[in-house]
Homo-oligomer: A and B are copies of this chain.
Amino acid sequence: MQQLTIIPPRSGTSFLVKKGQHLRVVDIEGEQVADFVCYNLADKAEYLSSGRTIDYAETIFLTKGHPFYSNRSNIMFDMVEDTVGRHDFLLTPCSADTFRIIYGHQQPHRGCFGNLSEALGQHGISPDAIPICFNIFMHVTVDGNTGKVDVLPPKSKAGDYVVLEAKMDLLVGLTACSAEMSNNYAFKPIGYQIED
């Protein structure tokens, strides 16, 4: 078993998770989001699909017991542990454009999108190939009558985690999210480890 690896605040990384291995993602300090995306290592044109996953699960709130599907409707991983129970699968990773359009920043941070682009670019993934991410610990509400979407502070406390079991060899991108609103206006690290 690996030790816990730390992703510093407002940064991202990429790594491989083999079929059958478990990826534990830990909110070390609490109220910190981690954007997650993955690709089939054997054919990286196959990627995690929010639309397919939500369609088959018949819910926008994915948690323990749910399989996560690729754009080709293959199961990429199962969520097998979840101490929080609330994550987002609707929104794209924060980016320079997010900070410009939503926050009005003049010199915006590159955000999770920029961090993922760099981390995944080393493995041949272009920025255009980064889809909607599974935003672990992100707390997004949807008003079923009006459709309004709100971003609230994460429900995760220090030490909370999820565990994902890979169903194929995966290239994974993972961040400690860079958007103020998503993290209750403080940036913290994210921890992860790969377990057999």
Contacts and interface: CB of A to CB of B under 8 A. Distances in A.
Contact of A45 (B45, B71, B72, B126): B126
A92 B58 contact: no
A143 B54 CA distance: 13
**Central interface residue in A72, A91, A131, A144, by most chain B CB within 10 Å:** A144
A38 B94 CA distance: 22
B128 A101 contact: no
Contact of A144 (B51, B72, B142): B142
Given A55-B98, A102-B56, A148-B59, A131 B131 contact: yes
A14 interface: no
Contacts of A128: 45-47, 71-72
Nearest to A129: B45
A52 interface: yes
A5 interface: no
A89 to B, nearest CB: 9
Interface in A91-118: 91-92, 95, 97-98, 101-102
Interface string A59-79: 111000000000111000000
* Chain A: number of interface residues, binned into ranges: 35 or more
Interface string A132-148: 10000000011110111
Nearest to A62: B147
23 contacts: A45-B126, A46-B128, A49-B92, A49-B132, A50-B51, A51-B90, A51-B91, A51-B132, A52-B92, A55-B92, A55-B149, A56-B102, A58-B150, A60-B142, A61-B147, A71-B92, A71-B130, A72-B128, A73-B98, A90-B90, A132-B132, A142-B142, A144-B144
